[in-house]
Amino acid sequence: MADETEVDESGPISLDDKDSRVLALLAQDSTLSYQELGRLVHLSAPAVHERVKRLKREGAIVRTEARLDGRKIGRPLLAFVHAYTSDYAAARQLVALQQFPEVEEIHTVTGEGAIMLKVRTSDTQGLERLLAKIHGLEGFNGTRSYIALTTYLERGPMPVQI
């Protein structure tokens, strides 16, 4: 279950060494208790709790989520799909693909295509079914898919250590 917070999109916030360390530790393991975080950054648990509340309020922490292993839940095939559309308005229609659980990320991108999708499916037939759904959308011109063979690193953004 994700803890949703309002995101402040005004730009970077000021982070001190302790903030950066707390963020890095939570990015690695979001289940760490405030007491354990405090021990690791040399602060009291209440002080860490206040920092985390502030970091959520300021938008540095967007949500807390469980990262699932696609292989363990029946979706071992990781692919990146570059979707080509006739124009930007058609690209915005592809955002409707968020309803499909196979689609993990949707990005508008520069270049010939307009959308890049990160998807996980059970197998190549699952990928083919998802591509058929994309091909059925109006304004669509084609796709180029890249299947990941091995993933060496997969993580979200990490704070710059000061």
CATH of residue 28:
1.10.10
Q: Are residues 102 and 130 in the same domain?
A: yes
CATH number at residue 106: 3.30.70.920
Q: Are residues 136 and 85 in the same domain?
A: yes
Rounded CA-CA distance 45/27 in Å is 18
Is 81 exposed, middle or buried, given 0-12, 13-18 or 19+ CB atoms closer than 10 A? Answer: buried
Residue pair 130/139 in contact by the 8 Å Cβ criterion: no
Nearest to 78 by CA among 45, 105, 110, 107: 105
Q: Is residue 121 part of a domain?
A: yes
State the sign of the Cα–Cα–Cα–Cα dihedral 132, 134, 137, 138: negative
Rounded CA-CA distance 29/36 in Å is 11
Side-chain-side CA neighbours of 75 within 13 Å: the count stands at 16
Q: Are residues 46 and 82 in the same domain?
A: no
Q: Is residue 23 part of a domain?
A: yes
Could you read off the pLDDT tens digit of each residue along the chain, which spans 162 residues? 344 434 345 778 889 999 999 999 998 899 999 999 999 999 999 999 999 999 999 999 998 888 889 999 999 999 999 988 877 777 777 778 888 899 999 998 887 767 899 999 999 999 999 999 888 888 788 899 999 999 999 888 887 754
Nearest to 20 by CA among 3, 45, 37: 37
Q: Are residues 49 and 82 in the same domain?
A: no
Secondary structure element (H or E) that encloses residue 36, with its range: helix 34-41
Q: Is residue 94 part of a domain?
A: yes
Instruction: Provide the domain count of the chain.
Output: 2
Q: Are residues 136 and 102 in the same domain?
A: yes
Q: Are residues 143 and 82 in the same domain?
A: yes
Q: Are residues 45 and 100 in the same domain?
A: no
Q: Is residue 45 part of a domain?
A: yes
What pLDDT does 13 receive? 86
Q: Are residues 81 and 141 in the same domain?
A: yes
What pLDDT does 140 receive? 80
Helices and strands in the chain: count of H runs, count of E runs: 5, 4
Domain that residue 32 falls in: 17-57
Q: Are residues 48 and 83 in the same domain?
A: no
Q: Is residue 47 part of a domain?
A: yes
User: Phi first, then psi: what are they for 140, rounded to 5°?
Assistant: -85, 135
Q: Is residue 139 part of a domain?
A: yes
Q: Is residue 160 part of a domain?
A: no
Q: Are residues 142 and 82 in the same domain?
A: yes
Rounded CA-CA distance 111/96 in Å is 21
Q: Is residue 104 part of a domain?
A: yes
Q: Are residues 84 and 117 in the same domain?
A: yes
